[in-house]
Amino acid sequence: MSLRLEMLQVARLAPSLLGEAAASVRAFLQQQFGSDGGACDRFGASDLYYTVFALDGLVALQADLPNAEVVPYLESFGAGDDLDLVHLACLARCRTAVGVDDSKVEAIAANLAGFRNADGGFAPEVGDESTVYHSFLGLGAYQDLGVECPDSPAIAVCVAARRAADGGYANQPGLPVGSTSVTAAAVTLLRYLGHDMTGEVADWLLARANADGGFHASPQAPLPDLLSTATAIHALAGVHVDLAPVQESCLDFVDSLWTGQAFCGHWADDAKDSEYTFYALLALGHLSL
């Protein structure tokens, strides 16, 4: 099962907790698509990144996708020759979501290969240093295209070199402190590549939990946030950590970010968008079990 399908399988469980509110979330996501077929960012401009979350959110809610509008938008990017890795990976994922024909698969895969470094990881831009986050995106993009990632075990070598001094993972090697979303990505990647990720890394993630609910982005972060919460829960569930000790508080945290139509990112944020709404679905899916 691919990284994307693993998340979708869980996010599909979210309506059991959303109840009647699922219809409001569905309507919100449907409203994110503009006249050009792309879903909007927080400033109202179409963006492949937000289009991914809007599409996958609708898939999780078993809603019809606006394929007739989205497909021309995706085709306007061709094979993504001018895109950075984040948006190239989003292009691959969006095409998978709407079932675009595979005529550009080889060309997109060739563009992906350009972001691969000698250390086995993927970089945000060609020639940049590899990061855990971009390596997660790179492997996921190959999976979404249905193309085998060359020498995927080398990704694990790159990720392992980014273990921080405090036991978490960071995007660059040699840092003293890890971050929650990067550690969650590392745990998920390494698990997928066949490494045992139980034990102290799981303990590091659990230590980021706030007593009042949610997970902090780092040991220094003042507030928990929805991205860190959803990714930490997903990583912990993947290595079979019992979520019961944080289940109720995390449910309360996600509920506190509900706007009546969608979700925002943290307690100091009042802007709802498709990205955080998808992460709410992912978190709720796990917390419903």
Q: Is residue 121 part of a domain?
A: no
The pLDDT of residue 102 is above 90 = no
**SS3 category, 39:** strand
Q: Is residue 242 part of a domain?
A: yes
- Say if CB 189 and CB 130 are below 8 A apart: no
pLDDT on residue 137: 98
> How many other CB atoms sit within 10 Å of the CB of residue 161?
16
- Say if CB 11 and CB 282 are below 8 A apart: yes
Q: Is residue 206 part of a domain?
A: yes
pLDDT in tens, 227-273: 999 999 999 999 999 999 999 999 999 999 999 999 999 999 999 99
Query: What proportion of the chain, given as a percentage, has pLDDT over 70?
Result: 100
Q: Is residue 247 part of a domain?
A: yes
Q: Is residue 37 part of a domain?
A: yes
Band (pLDDT 50/70/90 cuts) for residue 143 is: very high
**Residue whose structure tokens are 């007593």:** 211
Q: Is residue 171 part of a domain?
A: no
Query: What is the extent of the structural domain holding 64?
Result: 3-114+201-287
Q: Is residue 84 part of a domain?
A: yes
- The mean pLDDT of 132-151, rounded to a whole number, is 98
**Residue whose structure tokens are 């595979």:** 102
C-alpha span between 218 and 3 (Å, rounded): 24
pLDDT in tens, 160-201: 999 999 999 999 999 999 999 999 999 999 999 999 877 789
Cα R_g (the chain), whole angstroms: 18
The pLDDT of residue 89 is above 90 = yes
pLDDT on residue 159: 97
pLDDT on residue 121: 98
Q: Is residue 54 part of a domain?
A: yes
pLDDT on residue 118: 97
Give how many domains the chain has, as a whole number.
1
**SS3 category, 211:** coil
pLDDT in tens, 218-235: 999 999 999 999 999 999
Q: What tokens does 151 get?
A: 């020498």
> How many other CB atoms sit within 10 Å of the CB of residue 239?
17
